[in-house]
Structure 1
Amino acid sequence: MITPCIYMFLSLRMILQKEGPRSLFRGLGPNLVGVAPSRAIYFAAYSNCKEKMNNIFNPDSTQVHMISAGVAGFTAITTTNPIWLVKTRLQLDARNRGEKRMSAFECVRKVYRSDGIKGFYRGMSASYAGISETVIHFVIYESIKRKLLECKTASAMDNEDESAKEASDFVGMMMAAATSKTCATSIAYPHEVVRTRLREEGTKYRSFFQTLSLLVREEGYGSLYRGLTTHLIRQIPNTAIMMSTYEVVVYLLDG
């Protein structure tokens, strides 16, 4: 764990020295634009699919969670991939201090001139492979959440209290989300590396499996987990807050 942390701080120092503090926020605009619609599409698709699957399979079973997570991931990826491609291109646009930065609109024009509409969907095959991460995350999350609710119900019956939601319940769901996301990301992380390489401009990477085999052949298996520590530092609190917020909103809407 020490070595990845050292690499992370060395990379941070190099970016600050060469490109300045503003470079740390490159791609923030498309990221802010993409987060809201992406999450809205994802959770809408997940909830609707889960509701329909509950009528076909055993309600809230593993099959329901897997299918719902897969459909939600596919829907969100297909509709928002262009936004994430622009974000990645902006993040990879390394320039020295004082040089003019490429804007999101300039990036869009450049991608369109170079590759046309299909250029905005580069890396989507790797994103589809990343649906496995979503499936693993939700299966583990729903399993932990079900166990927490069972414990809550049993405790309420013993004490003859009503099983109402409390703040501690949502803290438990945050922990469940953090745990499930850590497991899922650690297992499926290589697709993140492959996707970033595919989104680089003018590279030798062409498809998911070609990129995967090329990375292993040229850089070794360790390259498939490059940046994992930094990714987890960002994703774990993000997912914990997002999932607990989702549960709070659903609870309040259900009244």
Structure 2
Amino acid sequence: MSTTVSGQRDTYSLGYAIRSGLAGGFAGCVAKTAVAPLDRVKILFQASNPDFQKYAGSWTGAFRAGLAIYRDSGIRGLLQGHSATLLRIFPYAGIKFMAYDQWRAFLIPSEGHETNLRRFSAGALAGMTSVTFTYPLELIRVRMAFHSRVTAQSASARPSFLRSMTNIYQEGTISQTSAASAASSSHIFDRFPILKFYRGFTVTMVGMIPYAGTAFLTWDFLRAHFYPARDDISTRPGIVANLAIGAVAGAVAQTVSYPLEVTRRRMQVGGITRPDRWLGWGETIRMIYSSGGLRGFYVGLSIGYLKIIPMNGISFAVWQGCKWLMGI
């Protein structure tokens, strides 16, 4: 029991939290960089970018879309929006993994308290904590990645981080054909301009519950099942095991939460398609269903698997490796 109490005290210390956050942030950056081209293509598919709808719906479509981006813009095009991704992912992943350590220690203070519900809750709370603090950066990243030849009038309009941020801030203040709708939206945006950076936040927060909860539940369950806690360090999972377990956790989480992710992407680019007002859940869901039926909620899922499986495997493995190097 003394070992458990000592371990809990270490987990709650400021030094542990900082090192856990740094390890998580670095892990997130490494993983995101590895899958950045797939992430760009997936966002274009999910948000129904008119340039790339002809490629959606097949495994080869992702490859052909990537080639089209490369022919048009080179490597820079495949990494478009990645600067915003890194600016977001370091604090996002850092806060998520740090928060998971803290929430897990709080909800599961000893082995006797360890249940799948508590594992799920710790992961869901960690994801929600992280999203709350970093969502505006996620929205800017999506806007940068959404840009293509059709969605901008000239090459000079290719959005930088600051230009995307400025465009979002100015949405809702331009003249619209519907005066009543514009007046209502402008009133809300004028009073709370920060809301412009939280388009799609509610669906993101709701989607984070099954995604992060399922990912950490699967991760924790598989590690506990195949590598039960012992004092012998030889029983702890190695790099390959952490990669495999993290990959499985990502695949399961992606499957469970994907329809909400598609809804979120469409709401996030709502400022481009409907800058005069806020697109709500119901309208966005009806829009997706009317254009693609039930399959519309799974557009880009094949790319999601191609992206999320290696990304989660890398992030979990690098997180654990960094924690080991930092002595936590």
Please indicate the TM-score interval, normalised by the length of the shorter structure: 0.7 to 0.9
Given the alignment, which residue of 212, 215, 224 partners 1:146? 224
Deviates more, 1:104-113 or 1:91-100: 91-100
Aligned to 1:175: 244
What is the TM-score normalised by the length of structure 1?
Answer: 0.85
Deviation at residue 141 of structure 1 after TM alignment: 1.3
Aligned to 2:302: 229
Name the CA distance, whole Å, in 1 between partners of 2:171 and 2:161: 15
Given the alignment, which residue of 122, 137, 140 partners 2:215? 137
For the residue of structure 2 that corresponds to 1:189, the secondary structure is helix
Given the alignment, which residue of 196, 205, 208 partners 1:128? 205
Question: Could you tell me which amino acid in structure 1 is paired with residue 309 of structure 2?
Answer: I
Query: 8 Å contact 2:124–2:211 — kept in the other structure?
Result: no
Name the CA distance, whole Å, in 2 between partners of 1:209 and 1:73: 24
Aligned residue pair count: 245
Query: 8 Å contact 1:178–1:236 — kept in the other structure?
Result: yes
For the residue of structure 2 that corresponds to 1:16, the secondary structure is helix
Name the CA distance, whole Å, in 2 between partners of 1:91 and 1:241: 22
Query: 8 Å contact 1:86–1:104 — kept in the other structure?
Result: yes
Query: 8 Å contact 1:173–1:244 — kept in the other structure?
Result: yes
Query: 8 Å contact 1:19–1:95 — kept in the other structure?
Result: no
Query: 8 Å contact 1:57–1:63 — kept in the other structure?
Result: no
Q: Which runs of 5+ in 2 are unaligned?
A: 1-56, 173-192
Deviations 1:129-173 (A, max 9, x none): 2221111111111111001113x85xxxxxxxx721478633212
Aligned residues with identical type, % of pairs: 20
In the alignment, structure 1 residue 117 sits paired with structure 2 residue 198:
no
User: Aligned-pair RMSD on alpha carbons?
Assistant: 2.7
Query: 8 Å contact 1:148–1:172 — kept in the other structure?
Result: no
Query: 8 Å contact 1:81–1:121 — kept in the other structure?
Result: yes
Query: 8 Å contact 1:57–1:64 — kept in the other structure?
Result: no
Aligned to 2:318: 245
Deviation at residue 189 of structure 1 after TM alignment: 1.0
Query: 8 Å contact 1:85–1:120 — kept in the other structure?
Result: yes
Name the CA distance, whole Å, in 1 between partners of 2:134 and 2:292: 30
Q: Which runs of 5+ in 1 are unaligned?
A: 154-161
Deviation at residue 103 of structure 1 after TM alignment: 1.1
Aligned to 2:163: 106
Query: 8 Å contact 1:19–1:94 — kept in the other structure?
Result: no
Aligned to 1:156: none
